[in-house]
Amino acid sequence: MRKALPVGIALLFAIVNAKAQSSTVAAATDLGFWQPEPAIPGSPAQIGIGANPMAQGAGLSPFGNGEQPVLRFAGDNGPQNLFTFSLSDDTGYDDNLFGSDQARARDFFTSVGPRVTFVTARQRLTFDFDYAPFFEMYKQYSGRDSVDQSLALDAAAELSPRFQLRVREYGSEFYYGLLGGNGEQVVGGLGPPGVASPYFINPNTRNIMSTSRVDLVFNKSARTSINVFGGFTTLNYKNLGTTGTYPSLEAPSGGLSYSYALTARGKFSATYSYMKSVYTGSLNPPRFQTQSVSLSYAYQISNALSVSFFGGPQYTRTRETLVIPFPPFGFLLIPEDRLEWNWSGGASVQRVTPVSTISLSASKYVSSGGALAAAIDFTSGELAISRRLTLGWTGTAGLHYMQARSLSFGGLPGGSYNIQYGNLGFQHKLTERATVRLNYAGTRQRHGLGTTLAYADLDRNRASVGIDWQIGKAHLGH
């Protein structure tokens, strides 16, 4: 899949000069089906692209298909056919630099770096690209200085009147945790329930994550579409300090989804997905595979309000190595397989108006626990709010709760851990090219009974003020 990514991008560009829009998509528009809007990436720490309507087929985007909720105001279509180059500068305070409550380190920091965005929407091609490297410097702990980076890509092309191709990629490199940079975003996955979701915090580590996905959509009619998809996730660590060696993660995935628009406002889908997780870099790395069948229904109640639901069974096979003390010879290593059935499920609701957006979601499914655990039963809930304020200010707020119960029984510690995360931000456009930002993010992680991961308990608060300067902008035509 990693090799397929540049091939897919080349195919997308090969179609940029096509002149006609397909009759299938036009027919869907005539039926009045609601189309999701593409996301607008934010600051360097907030990169994320989602909800590309061309690759969705006609109609709603059912919950559980890998799309992230997009906080945008009604009528805000975002920039189109634009290339921009900007510079961001943030100054702030972090009260837990190394992710350890036992040896807590606090310091002021300065983060500066460029950002390149390229957004184009043609009749048969959409292409969103956002890349932001940034250098983070600390006043006292200069050893913590680092060059972090985030990259997001979402491209889709109409290959023929019935076939569409979509390529997505998210990559990041930053120090420990769910968050990169100033911590405005929790990173989500690009796949359905069961794919790798590295929601965890590894203290004092540097995380390198890459997630890619390729979709081929066949529009059988204005109401019916079939989507074949495949993805690949990698998660690596370095600069581990004294916390030990974490295994790296490689997780290929794939599946098939069938969607049918029951009405102009309601859409049904059925999805089969498969994920295999392999952990490398340890003496006896565990591995597991999960198969899921999910049924989903999304309904547009009004122009402002939409809801969606999903649920279905999951079948997980875990292979680990039991480590049994065997004196006086040391340890006895016994490979062991474990089969388990679980249920996935979730729901979301979103309200969008010209002045505010509210998104509420909750889900439960078996996924990958990264390095703290192998297979996990993952439960999460998220509330995100964005609102236009007075005097030209815009405010955003988010609350996130995540709990992971390990299905591990041998090679890695079992038990559970949970994370509570909240963020608050304000931004104001000072001039045509300058925007000021105020951000706060707070994180709390705790381990549960039955695990030896006490060192993973931590609290972190991070606040900053920053400014974005748009240095250059080029319109790419219509």
Q: What is the DSSP string of 317-348?
A: EEEEEEEEEETTTEEEEEEEEEEEEEEEEEEE
* Spatial CA neighbour of 408 closest among 314, 337, 457: 337
Task: Give burial (CB, 10 Å; 0-12/13-18/19+) of 165.
Answer: buried
Parallel, antiparallel or unpaired: strands 287-300 and 224-238: unpaired
Give the CA angle between residues 344, 347, 350 to the nearest 5°: 155
> What is the three-class DSSP state of 29?
helix
What length is written for the chain?
478
Least confident of 38-47, 113-122, 389-398: 38-47
Contacts with 233 (C-beta within 8 Å, 6 or more apart), sequence order: 189, 195, 196, 198, 209, 210, 211, 212, 249, 250, 251, 253, 368
Give the CA angle between residues 476, 60, 172 to the nearest 5°: 55
Domain span at 102: 4-475
Mean pLDDT of 183-192: 49
Mean pLDDT of 77-105: 83
**Res 77 pLDDT > 80:** no
**Res 435 pLDDT > 90:** yes
**Res 332 pLDDT > 50:** yes
How far apart (Å, rounded) are the C-alpha atoms in residues 331 and 283? 13
Q: Determine contact, residues 222/27, Cβ cutoff 8 Å.
A: yes
Most confident of 152-156, 235-239, 244-248, 317-321: 152-156
**Res 407 pLDDT > 70:** yes
Q: What is the mean pLDDT of the chain?
A: 75
User: Which pLDDT score is estimated for 176?
Assistant: 64
- 232 vs 175, higher pLDDT: 232
Confidence of residue 32 (pLDDT cuts 50, 70, 90): very low
**Res 86 pLDDT > 70:** yes
Least confident of 223-232, 273-282, 376-385: 273-282
Domain count, the chain: 1
Mean pLDDT of 389-404: 89
Mean pLDDT of 217-245: 80
Most confident of 48-52, 203-207, 471-475: 471-475
Q: What is the pTM of this model?
A: 0.79
Task: Give burial (CB, 10 Å; 0-12/13-18/19+) of 413.
Answer: middle
User: Which pLDDT score is estimated for 112?
Assistant: 94
How far apart (Å, rounded) are the C-alpha atoms in residues 381 and 419? 11
Query: What CATH code is carried by the domain that includes residue 294?
Result: 2.40.160
Q: Among residues of the chain, what percentage have pLDDT more than 90? A: 27
Most confident of 58-62, 78-82, 428-432, 456-460: 428-432
Confidence of residue 19 (pLDDT cuts 50, 70, 90): very low
Mean pLDDT of 141-150: 87
Q: How far is CA 438 from CA 49, 197, 394, 395, 468, in A?
A: 22, 28, 10, 9, 11
Tell me which DSSP letter residue 182 carries: T
Q: How far is CA 366 from CA 31, 44, 226, 281, in A?
A: 37, 30, 24, 23
How far apart (Å, rounded) are the C-alpha atoms in residues 47 and 49? 7
In this structure, which amino acid lies at residue 6?
P
Question: Number of C-alpha atoms within 13 angstroms, CB side, residue 249?
Answer: 30
User: Which pLDDT score is estimated for 468?
Assistant: 93
- pLDDT tens-place string over residues 414-426: 577 788 888 899 9
Confidence of residue 278 (pLDDT cuts 50, 70, 90): confident
Mean pLDDT of 81-86: 88
How far apart (Å, rounded) are the C-alpha atoms in residues 187 and 68? 9
**Res 1 pLDDT > 50:** no
Contacts with 377 (C-beta within 8 Å, 6 or more apart), sequence order: 342, 364, 365, 366, 404, 405, 406, 407
Confidence of residue 314 (pLDDT cuts 50, 70, 90): very high
User: Which pLDDT score is estimated for 53?
Assistant: 37
Mean pLDDT of 14-28: 35
Q: Record the tokens describing residue 54, joined without a space.
A: 């061309």
* Spatial CA neighbour of 458 closest among 204, 249, 238, 183: 204
29-62 burial, b if ≥16 CB within 10 A, otherwise e?
eeeebbebbbbbbbbbbbbbbbbbbbbbbbbbbb
Least confident of 37-46, 197-206, 280-289, 325-334: 37-46
Q: How far is CA 53 from CA 73, 119, 164, 214, in A?
A: 17, 14, 11, 15
How far apart (Å, rounded) are the C-alpha atoms in residues 428 and 114? 20
